[in-house]
Amino acid sequence: MAYTYSYPHPAVTVDIAIFTIRDDALQVLLIKRAQPPYRGEWALPGGFVGLEESLKHAAWRELKEETGVNAVYLEQLFTFGHPQRDPRERVISVAYFALIPSDKLQIKAASDAADVGWFSIDAIPELAFDHKKILTKALERVAAKFNYSTIAFQLMPETFTMPQLQHVYEVMTQVPIDKRNFRKRMLSLNVIEPTGEESRAGAHRPAKLYRVLDRNKVDHIK
Amino acid sequence: MAYTYSYPHPAVTVDIAIFTIRDDALQVLLIKRAQPPYRGEWALPGGFVGLEESLKHAAWRELKEETGVNAVYLEQLFTFGHPQRDPRERVISVAYFALIPSDKLQIKAASDAADVGWFSIDAIPELAFDHKKILTKALERVAAKFNYSTIAFQLMPETFTMPQLQHVYEVMTQVPIDKRNFRKRMLSLNVIEPTGEESRAGAHRPAKLYRVLDRNKVDHIK
DNA sequence: GCAAAAGTGTTATCCCTACACCCATGA
DNA sequence: TCATGGGTGTAGGGATAACACTTTTGC
């Protein structure tokens, strides 16, 4: 089977930086490449775009293949097209990033741990292709969005405590926050409500649990 | 001459929304298509990405072909890849936008006015392909950036007055601004300086001229 | 009872907004 | 001299930032 064109065509892929919070750290899903090029090296999950599917559909498909998850936040990041970014042929990659709540993680990523794994963003190995650049840009974008949107809640589980939420903010933006001011700021957004439950988690006062009002909405604030 | 691949490849184009301020209005450059599909309709300038050139290079090339300009602000906008966005074959378009200072406009766009033209953004004709969507997204991005960056100065000529600058802001963001507050805000950015010259332009007090300190720098503010 | 983390209010500061009159020019 | 648009300062309000002690639990 061969496909012929009257002028040269590049290949087009999607690559996805999939983030979650695990063990109090921001982590990204990486895959160990089974085929050359860069065989044995870690890379962002991705693959070729089908001729009949949209870019977002391709991204969803890859995301689901790797994580089993579907209802998560997915956003187009940037398109990388340096002529030599893939040694095989000209490959243009449309990069996406996804945010997955910690409690939606499926076993998939853990099951065959040899070739799929979560990596804390301050312990990223060498990456294949230009995936380091993609990851860096994704982190920049997400961190920036924390400051002017309610994107952070896309990383939170069904119920969560205020200190947990604050921790996510601090991990992502790398700046410590005053907990009283943080609490006021979050509550004034009107996107979360207390569940009435509490989380008892050790030798200290229990924390009140909150829940997101509308999981599918990401507001632009200010 | 034919190019053969073992699996199907899409075509990849760049399309550019080129903005400038002309006649006190925000305008975009459009091209009347000489070939089908959409022959005779207006479209954003664009073209196929060469196999050996980067995406940005392709955008620069198209930009220069149409405007003769090279030193302007150019930013990747979004990649559009709906499977049916082009009736010929699968075409994925990496969209860019460019901002050109009004005094850098070359004669090119005016010379053969039949097939190239500047259109005020509130008088855009029907556009070919999904170019309306691209243009809308470009306008959203630029307007948003006006509020958190110094991107506005990319539209200003070598020297300009404060009322001119304010007008650009008002045209772009669609909100009237108090001129005293505006002046303070602009000066506090520390990116412009008075030239010492004045602009005499009618039966009224002359306006002081300003110049951008570093034309190539676009700051992220706040 | 003690260590550990959660919860809670008030004050000061800064930034943004609102607002009105005089000035320089060309006709 | 008059019409036109350019230039200038201050005061109030709202949002943000700084800051310390009490509460609840498990061991």
Cα–Cα dist A119/A20, whole Å: 10
Q: Is the pLDDT of residue B61 over 70?
A: yes
Percent of chain B residues topping a pLDDT of 90: 86
pLDDT score recorded for residue B9 = 97
Cα–Cα dist B50/A10, whole Å: 9
- Amino acid B181 CA to nucleotide D10 C1' distance, rounded Å: 12
Q: Is the pLDDT of residue B114 over 80?
A: no
Phi, psi angle pair for A101, to nearest 5°: -65, 145
Amino acid symbol at B189 = L
The CA-CA-CA angle for residues B191, B57, B100, to 5°, reads 40
- Amino acid A196 CA to nucleotide D22 C1' distance, rounded Å: 22
What are the residues of chain B with a beta carbon less than 8 Å away from any beta carbon of chain A? 1-12, 48-49, 51-55, 76, 78-79, 81-83, 90, 92, 94
- Amino acid B188 CA to nucleotide D12 C1' distance, rounded Å: 21
Three-state secondary structure call for residue A54: coil
- Give burial (CB, 10 Å; 0-12/13-18/19+) of A222: exposed
Nearest chain B Cα distance for residue A209, angstroms: 33
Nearest chain A Cα distance for residue B158, angstroms: 32
What is the token pair recorded at B90?
């699968």
Q: Is the pLDDT of residue A42 over 90?
A: yes
pLDDT score recorded for residue B71 = 81
Cα–Cα dist A62/B207, whole Å: 58
pLDDT score recorded for residue A66 = 87
pLDDT score recorded for residue B67 = 87
pLDDT score recorded for residue A111 = 46
Nearest CB among B4, B83, B92 relative to A3 is that of: B4
> pTM score, two decimals?
0.95
Distances (CA, A) of B128 to A119, B55, B123: 45, 22, 15
For strand C, which residues in window 124-183 of chain B come within 7 Å by CB? 178-181
Cα–Cα dist A109/A97, whole Å: 17
What's the whole-number average pLDDT of chain A? 94
pLDDT score recorded for residue A166 = 97
pLDDT score recorded for residue A67 = 87
Find chain A residues with C-beta within 8 A of B85's C-beta. Answer: none
- Long-range contacts of range B102-107, CB-CB < 8 Å, 24 or more positions apart? B102/B20, B102/B21, B102/B22, B102/B155, B102/B156, B102/B157, B103/B157, B103/B158, B104/B69, B104/B71, B104/B72, B104/B157, B105/B20, B105/B22, B105/B67, B105/B69, B106/B67, B106/B68, B106/B69, B107/B68
* DSSP conformational letter for B109: H
pLDDT score recorded for residue A114 = 65
**What is the Cα A10 distance to its own chain's centre?**
27
Q: What is the pLDDT of residues A155-187, one digit of tens each?
A: 999 999 999 999 999 999 999 999 999 999 999
Q: Tell me if B79 and A81 make a contact (CB, 8 A cut-off).
A: no
- A60-69, A127-136, B168-177, B183-192: which has the minimum mean pLDDT? A60-69
pLDDT score recorded for residue B110 = 47
- A81-95, A174-188, B97-111, B137-151: which has the minimum mean pLDDT? B97-111
Q: For strand C, is any atom closer than 7 Å to the CB of A208? A: yes
Q: Which residue has the higher pLDDT, B114 or A65?
A: A65
* Nearest nucleotide (CA of A200 to C1'): D25
Q: For strand C, is any atom closer than 7 Å to the CB of A180? A: yes
Nearest CB among A12, A48, A53 relative to B12 is that of: A12
What's the whole-number average pLDDT of chain B? 94
- List the one residue out of B129, B89, B93, B95 whose CA is nearest residue B8: B89
- Give burial (CB, 10 Å; 0-12/13-18/19+) of A110: exposed
pLDDT band for position A107 (cuts 50, 70, 90) = low
Residues B145-164: what's their mean pLDDT? 96
Q: Is the pLDDT of residue A110 over 80?
A: no
Nearest chain A residue to B58 by CA distance is A81
pLDDT band for position B108 (cuts 50, 70, 90) = low
